[in-house]
Chain A
């Protein structure tokens, strides 16, 4: 399952991030294996997600979010 498939308010744990353009920037935002994520809000018809990563917020497009593998809690 990937991050873009979660629904609003759902919590999950990151299990991995696909290697690619986004990898480096995402790990800088704290999206690394083991991080706790929660969908705070879905914007513009679910194309943009506000995600809480280990307590701090970030915004990510759903295309980019689909490169993040998660395990729902």
Chain B
């Protein structure tokens, strides 16, 4: 009998996912375990129908978080709707073999057919370490192989064992003689004494770099320099690429629309569906770029140092260094940022990070800022010619978002999420060159998740808003936005907007912004029937209203995609709804105060 369902288990960061990708190619699917937000990754082995499940990383079989609980339940065969395993591949990092003796012992005690895979054999050898897999197989009584998932060595030993070919003679001599040794943890001291194990030496290069990377002064400067470089790439390359992609898809939509008969169906297909898809796909270059930067920083080992450096600053508002990366990503887009919070071990810190991430000024807010600033703020020079007034206002808006995030984090930690500072301990792995394969696979993987999970939600919501904006029908054609159901909602909320100095057109555009923030610009164009709505706005809402609108926009959570992803990641409607209410209230209050102050100052 072959093993049909095979579980891949091991601690985090030992190359488990690399091995999983290596074993399955890209024939894999990602879903959630029912009832929890733990990702269920399974795939089919190359050249066979056997299923491999990539279980969440565990250090011990005493589970401490949701994903670890799932991993342990699957391994022990508990739980009715969880898959049953026929065999286990236990992956550990050969360069740190001595750390895993406890886990190895625990997994073997589960009594499933288990093969121990000692990964990173190439690095072990490079760093002058040594492991004799036969000696370990003999001691544990279970097949053991040295592999390198990144380079693809040792893969035939795995497939031989999984298919019961070759009788594993090369990996396990003991069982062939009929002896079934008792399962136990490897004893590294005796293995070392017998010469079967030699610990690799820590890289001198890493220590030399860390002297600077963790330096109290040079460290933060270096970290900021990396960040600025990453942002430059995202804003200078990825953002324009996304805009170009959206425009180009839009043109295709118009061209294709001309081929269709002019009726309501065409309007739905082109405006409702195609343009919605185009605006989602426009985010893709940014998300790709963001994951490229993140994966490179992670794979090189620098991310751990950045978390250490950020921990001090973040600690002041009760956050933890691990929240740094997701919050940083939120400057591009809150959706992948909230997906990236999965790496935060403490549930409380993770939730706090999810709740404040949408305050970070995401790239979709930029077109709106650009429109309003160009229309209202005069192009005065400040500080000589160093800084323009317009650029200063833009920076202020970024700052407002950041301050609101920090304030919210502090409020959360001193009220709902009160408690001791959560623990922080992080490994400082050896630096290494990021590997193209790892980066490529991570990007492909995340893109698939993004497109599948978010695009479906955005698409549906897009359609709903589109219908609201174009119904009731006029002579069988889609109606004008100005007389639609959405406009009626705009009329209802108009009394609310009046204290902010805003008019009905702005109100309607704020409603359409829920689908995609940048659609404010296009909605205003439609309502004012002008390509440059800024001029018309200047006559309608004045400087005070414009400033109020900017502040409102900086603080409000106007993004259905973010709401959807928060709902998915927190697995409840409570948090996204509370978050929406809180951010809207804060935005409203902020805009009101801004409007009143601006009026007082006669702006």
Contact = CB atoms under 8 A, between A and B. Distances in A.
A, B: real partners: yes
B468 to A, nearest CB: 47
B346 A21 contact: yes
Nearest to A59: B308
Contact of A58 (B12, B60, B345, B427): B427
Nearest to B188: A54
Contacts of A44: 216, 312
B440 to A, nearest CB: 28
Given A27-B59, A28-B11, A59 B428 contact: yes
B425 A61 contact: yes
Contact of B102 (A25, A27, A41, A54): A27
Interface in A1-37: 20-22, 24-32
Contacts of A21: 64, 346, 422-423
Q: Main SS of the interface on chain B?
A: loop
A27 B60 CA distance: 8
Nearest to B311: A48
A61 B422 CA distance: 10
B98 interface: yes
Contact of B428 (A30, A54, A57): A57
Interface string B426-448: 11110000000000000000000
A58 B428 contact: yes
Given A24-B64, A55-B202, A29 B423 contact: no
Contacts of B99: 28-30, 54
Interface in B405-424: 420-424
Contacts of B96: 30, 56
B308 A29 contact: no
A50 B315 CA distance: 17
A25 B214 contact: no
Contacts, number: 95
Interface residues of B, number: 35
A22 B216 CA distance: 25
A5 B210 CA distance: 23
B169 interface: no
Given A27-B102, A28-B59, A47-B312, A60 B346 contact: no
B62 interface: yes
A34 B429 CA distance: 21
A24 B103 CA distance: 11
A57 B378 CA distance: 53
B421 A63 contact: yes
Contacts of B202: 52, 55-57
Contacts of A43: 214, 216, 308, 312
B234 interface: no
Q: Which of B64, B216, B312, B424 is packed against the most chain A CB atoms within 10 Å?
A: B424
B159 interface: no
Contact of A48 (B201, B206, B308, B423): B308
B425 A29 contact: yes
Q: Which 8 A-B pairs have the closest CB atoms?
A: A28-B59, A22-B423, A57-B428, A60-B425, A30-B99, A64-B423, A44-B312, A59-B308
5 contacts: A21-B422, A27-B59, A54-B99, A54-B199, A61-B421
Given A25-B64, A27-B60, A61-B423, 4 more contacts: A29-B425, A48-B311, A59-B308, A59-B428
